[in-house]
Amino acid sequence: MPVVFSPGEPETRPLNPDEIVYTTAQKVADILGVGPGEAVLMSANAEANGVFVTGSDYRDHGFSVGDTILIYSDADPLGLERPITAITTSASGVKLAFSSAINPGLYETTDNGYVQNTASFTNGKLRGMKKSVVETRIKEVQDRIDNYTHNAWRPYLVSAEYINFDTYKPYRRRYYTDYVGTAPLLFRNVQQILRIELWQGDDYREICGAEARIQIPDDARAISGSIVLSPGNGTAAVLTAEKGADIAGTSTATKWRTDFDATTTAQNLADLINKEDRVSKAAVEFDPAFTLEGSTSNVAVHNEFLASANADYGTGIVKLTSMRPVKAGEVCSIVTTSSDISISQVASNTATVSSVVSTTINVDSTGGFAKAGVCVKGDTVFRYTGTTATSFTGCVRVIGSPLSDLSGTITQNLLKLDLQGGSSSGDSRRLRDWWLDHEMGIIYFNNSYPFFEWNAIKVAYIYGERYLEKAIEEAATKMVAADLLMADDRSVLIPEGSQNVDLGSKIQLYRKEAMEILGRYKEVVVFA
């Protein structure tokens, strides 16, 4: 049976722990009856793309990027609303900039131009409860709801779940069905399978995610250079190996430590890729930055790749898996400028440079290379956005010498997926390697399956409801509201006086109603 020892996979946690999903600060303010703050006079005439307030008003009332402001004056008493896109300072005061232009002639100081933050909770000093505090309470409540219900209405990452494979009369079952056996996951509502690793007697074989394995040498202190990753769209992220004494300031985000042994170094590299909060690793973004549909945040390395260090693959080995589904991850490329680091479980391609003309690198053949990605020659790495039969186009130097100095043989490593059942689409069809019942969280195996042993299957996946039910939103809002009313500064929010329900009773009522809602969503886990 496989040996499970101190796995280097991260713990089960929200895919985006800092994301606010279940409710908002404004919804909490609405249930508490907390209105927006006072309007402030403009400190200067408005511009087409911004208005000005004094530094004192900015600090007292609070304005943040993303807040919506109401702009009005005697010339336009109804006013208009604009979301703040940037905040800068100037001789005229603090500028609250927005993208949709206005007629600045209607909002001048002589016409008593006013600016009001429509948000009830801000990070200003005048109101007792800051928006940042409310949002922290929301994050805490989200965790409490998930723990209580054993379910989630946001994406959760399970990095490693070990499953036994013990099918009753598997070959006879295969005769009557189109599968050999099944593996029920701990959680339902699976959004995406990232890894399915099958024990083959001496190692786990990956049949779901495109992977690469990075081998750290025994003497990690000798490592110098960088690892460069590309998700297949022509962008690149640089992970630089450095001694601890050289890691300082803002550059920490792109560096991993090589002060110690192979095991510790491999874990530090995996922590950097995964943006481990446990060791205060920051997100490493791609260059040029890009976003995905429905998001305003830049995609980072931990959004595209999952890393495990020193797990069942051996000490000093980092398994890198694309978080793109099934064969989509085979467009991802990885290269290194370090001669001490070896990369395996990949499809390696080489080409000979014939000439470099501006941003085009001409080679003998681009066959086998990704349509966009990164390549390396010595200490030089470049990214490209397209290919022809004999050239890379849109080339930009990432690190190392100028492109004009490039010559000889360039190399690229592509993440690789092992599907032996003849499938090019993974779990989208039956009679292939495997397929998934997303709602129930059950994996069905056919052409590829593990030994019939305990811990024979290791799975990484993302689960969670795709739709936030209004009842969950209501429960989260009332739980946060109750927490805020318990705060010492609650009198700033709702002064206790002649209201029909006193604050103590209101707190108990909110909590009772929230738990009644959550009780209907609580899932029971049975271990057979």
List, for residues 379-435, the tens digit of each pLDDT value.
999 999 999 999 999 999 999 999 999 999 999 999 998 876 655 556 666 667 888
Sign of CA dihedral 206, 211, 212, 215: negative
Place of tokens 């409540």: 141
288 & 371 share domain: yes
235 & 141 share domain: no
- Among 35-44, 270-279, 299-308, the minimum mean pLDDT is found in 270-279
Query: Residue 398: helix, strand or coil by DSSP?
Result: strand
pLDDT the model gives residue 173: 52
388 & 401 share domain: yes
pLDDT the model gives residue 252: 52
Q: Are 459 and 193 in contact (CB under 8 A)?
A: yes
pLDDT the model gives residue 524: 67
Overall average pLDDT of the 346-351 stretch: 96
364 & 254 share domain: yes
232 & 106 share domain: no
Residue 71 lies in a domain: yes
398: exposed, middle or buried (Cβ count in 10 Å: 0-12, 13-18, 19+)? buried
Query: Residue 37: helix, strand or coil by DSSP?
Result: coil
Residue 29 lies in a domain: no
236 & 385 share domain: yes
pLDDT the model gives residue 157: 94
User: How many other β-carbons are positioned within 10 Å of the β-carbon of residue 464?
Assistant: 21
Residue 20 lies in a domain: no
481 & 457 share domain: no
Q: How many domains is the chain partitioned into structurally?
A: 4
Residue 83 lies in a domain: yes
Does the pLDDT at position 122 exceed 60?
yes
Query: Residue 220: helix, strand or coil by DSSP?
Result: helix
Overall average pLDDT of the 421-450 stretch: 76
Does the pLDDT at position 526 exceed 60?
no
**What tokens were used for 214?**
């990075």
Q: Which residue, of 379, 400, 415, is where some domain finishes?
A: 415
Residue 89 lies in a domain: yes
147 & 168 share domain: no
What letter represents residue 118's amino acid? T
Overall average pLDDT of the 192-196 stretch: 93
List phi, psi (to 5°) of 160: -160, 115
Overall average pLDDT of the 121-133 stretch: 88
Domain that holds residue 487: 130-151+467-519
Sign of CA dihedral 326, 329, 330, 336: negative
Q: What is the pTM of this model?
A: 0.86
Residue 27 lies in a domain: no
Q: Are 114 and 71 in contact (CB under 8 A)?
A: yes
Extract long-range pairs of 55-61: CB within 8 Å, 24+ residues apart. Answer: 55/89, 55/93, 55/94, 57/94, 58/93, 58/94, 59/124, 59/125, 60/124, 60/125, 60/126, 61/37, 61/117, 61/122, 61/124, 61/126
286 & 353 share domain: yes
Residue 22 lies in a domain: no
228 & 304 share domain: yes
332 & 190 share domain: no
Q: What is the mean pLDDT of the chain?
A: 88
- pLDDT confidence of 14, banded at 50, 70, 90? very high
Does the pLDDT at position 369 exceed 90?
yes
Higher pLDDT: 177 or 455? It is: 455
Does the pLDDT at position 515 exceed 70?
yes
How far apart, in whole angstroms, are the C-alpha atoms of residue 515 and residue 518?
A: 5
Residue 105 lies in a domain: yes
pLDDT the model gives residue 428: 64
147 & 161 share domain: no
| Proportion of the chain above pLDDT 90, given as a percent | 66
